[in-house]
Amino acid sequence: MIIFQFLMQLIIPLMLVLIGLLIGKGIELHHFKKLDQRECQFSNMIITNLKTIPAEFEATQPFLVMGSAVIATDYFKVFAAGLRTLFGGEMKSYVTLMERARREAVLRMLEQADNQGAQAVWNIRYETCTTHGQQRKKPGGVEVLAYGTALK
């Protein structure tokens, strides 16, 4: 009876972590697939982080565009990152989190530029921050703000 209770106390949390891992990975892969599809729509738009516009590019009416994305982490990523802090090294579970947020923010910025008739977005910059969860040891998220100068 005691062995059964011990196994149940061990198996149930492991099963929940495994289920969280599978569902989280599925959501992440689906989001990456949608990002790829949406990025193809803007393949003709010029985007760069250069500060100056080339002389041959005739543009008028510059205006600010921005896009923001907040991507939440899950308990498995927090668990994996906690293990990584014990041994050191790259936190690969957070790398994908940052990539998703950055790509989503850029796409939202490009959608805003496209809606206003822009041909290019120049001087793209990024700002990042983490959302709640740092002090409370709970899952939080990451916010990425992408902004630049759109040119018609």
List, in order of start, the domains of the chain with CATH numbers: 2-151 (3.30.110.70)
Q: What is the pLDDT of residue 139?
A: 65
Separation in Å, CA 39 to CA 31, 105, 108, 152: 12, 12, 10, 20
- Model pLDDT, residue 106: 97
What is the model's pLDDT at position 113? Answer: 96
What pLDDT was estimated at residue 145?
A: 97
| The pLDDT of residue 10 | 83
Q: What is the pLDDT of residue 55?
A: 77
Report yes or no on whether pTM surpasses 0.85: no
Note the pLDDT of residue 135: 60
Q: What is the mean pLDDT of the chain?
A: 86
Parts of the chain with a pLDDT under 50: none
